[in-house]
Amino acid sequence: MAAGHPPPRLQLHERIIFAVDIGPNGAAKMGPLTRLLAARQLIKKFIQLKSRMSVSHEHCEFGKQPDELYRIVDEISLSDHEVTYFDMQSLKDVMPDPNNPAYFLRVIFIYFRSNIIPSLAAPKEFDFFRQNKFCAFDSLYVHDKVADDNRVQEVFDFLNEIDEEKGYCLETRLFRRMNKFIILLLAHGQQRTPHQPAESFLL
| pLDDT per residue as tens digits for the range 164-176 | 888 999 999 999 8
Amino acid at 133: K
Residue range 86-143, pLDDT digits in tens: 888 888 888 877 777 788 889 999 999 999 999 877 667 778 788 888 889 999 999 9
Give the number of other CB atoms < 10 A from CB of residue 70. 16
Angle formed by the axes of helices 178-185 and 35-53, nearest 10°: 40
In this prediction, residue 5 carries a pLDDT of 52
Over range 51-73, report the average pLDDT.
76
pTM of the model: 0.87
Question: Can you tell me the distance from the alpha carbon of 150 to that of 172, in angstroms, rounded to the nearest whole number?
Answer: 15
